[in-house]
Amino acid sequence: AAGVIQSPRHLIKEKRETATLKCYPIPRHDTVYWYQQGPGQDPQFLISFYEKMQSDKGSIPDRFSAQQFSDYHSELNMSSLELGDSALYFCASTVAAIGSTYNEQFFGPGTRLTVL
């Protein structure tokens, strides 16, 4: 079965550079979530989108922005990168079907960002 695709899988950047992470949800999934997992930490929610509109916002820095496109893929844009941004970034997708109880999120393999 098709899974969530994230690219790139690994990314190395210098401080103050910018980075763009991409997420391709499972076909027919309309909702995308972004999570950040620092070294030795648990995943932390950043932001989510439903039908191309931001639906919820977590602990996402102002230097980060994200959007969901008409084909439902999403991009996380990160500017003025800091050493502390080094982390695994996971994207998850789901279907926000009205009345459905099966609203579990399916996670992608993640993008490992290293800021030097």
Partner 1 sequence: DAKTTQPPSMDCAEGRAANLPCNHSTISGNEYVYWYRQIHSQGPQYIIHGLKNNETNEMASLIITEDRKSSTLILPHATLRDTAVYYCIVRNYGQNFVFGPGTRLSVLP
Annotate 94-113 with DSSP letters as a single string: E---TT-S----EE---EEE
Contacts of 24 (CB under 8 A, 6+ apart): 4, 5, 6, 7, 73
With beta carbons less than 8 A apart as the criterion, state whether 57 and 70 touch.
no
User: CB of residue 44 vs partner 1: minimum separation in angstroms?
Assistant: 7
- Could you say which of 14, 42, 62, 71 contacts partner 1 (CB under 8 A)? 42
User: CB of residue 104 vs partner 1: minimum separation in angstroms?
Assistant: 5
Candidates 8-16, 17-25, 54-62, 65-73; binding stretch for partner 1 (CB under 8 A): 54-62
Any idea which residue has 């230097």 for tokens?
A: 63
User: CB of residue 82 vs partner 1: minimum separation in angstroms?
Assistant: 21
Contacts to partner 1 by CB under 8 A: 4, 33, 35, 42-45, 48, 55-56, 58, 88, 90, 92, 96, 101, 103-110, 112
